[in-house]
Amino acid sequence: MSSETEATLVRVEPESTPSACIIWLHGLGADGYDFEPIIPYLKLPKSSAVRFLFPHAEVMPVTVNGGAPMRAWYDILEMNVGRKVDKPTLIASSERIQRLIDEQIAEGIPADKILLAGFSQGGAVAYHAALTYPKSLAGLVALSTYMATAEEIKLQRQSSNYQIPIWVAHGERDEVVQLALGEQALTTLKGMNYNALWTTYPMGHEVVMEEIEALGCWMAQQLKL
């Protein structure tokens, strides 16, 4: 029985027994329901049996929100380009997602059929969770995000995911997570010899249909649907 309950995530099951899983992490202040509506727009093959999991972040005080509590994967201390964050909480959230991956494997879905995606804050957690996971995953998607734990990833990254396919996308007019932060993450990935596909869109801090459809094609390819 999964330790992640309906109170901690949104679970969308396929009609048949799942053979693949996409775990998708929301951004600051949102919840697991945020990205559930995009599933049909990914246009994955109708014959595919993909389980979608959209975990809810914990509710915690967020410094840049005046200390008011909201759903967050970690505290953000400063919103400058340096993006000062509470790394221990980010890493704890990453470990929670890795346990969720472990649970999917225990339920019969192979690691190489599990894909991790994250938007904004969720993307920073996805970077850490995927690149430090000890089994080869199907892919990593980083949307409108940044790499907040680059130094930790360099020390803890696992050879099992040196070749992980990575899809990175960012808005050219993003005023929340500046384009420079996405580019900085890409430079860091290349410096560690990861092969990442980078795409920008004429948008702000959001996702657009063109992006979602392109992402769906990429996901289907990585999961061999």
Active site members: 120, 174, 205
> Residue 192: in which H helix or E strand, if any?
none
Q: Say how far apart CA 67 and CA 142 lie, in whole Å.
A: 27
Cα→Cα distances 79→76, 82, 138, Å: 7, 8, 32
What are the DSSP calls for 11-38, one per residue? EE--SS--SEEEEEE--TT--TTSSGGG
Q: 């907040």: which residue's tokens?
A: 148
Task: Provide the 10 A C-beta neighbour count for residue 17.
Answer: 11
Q: 């999917």: which residue's tokens?
A: 104
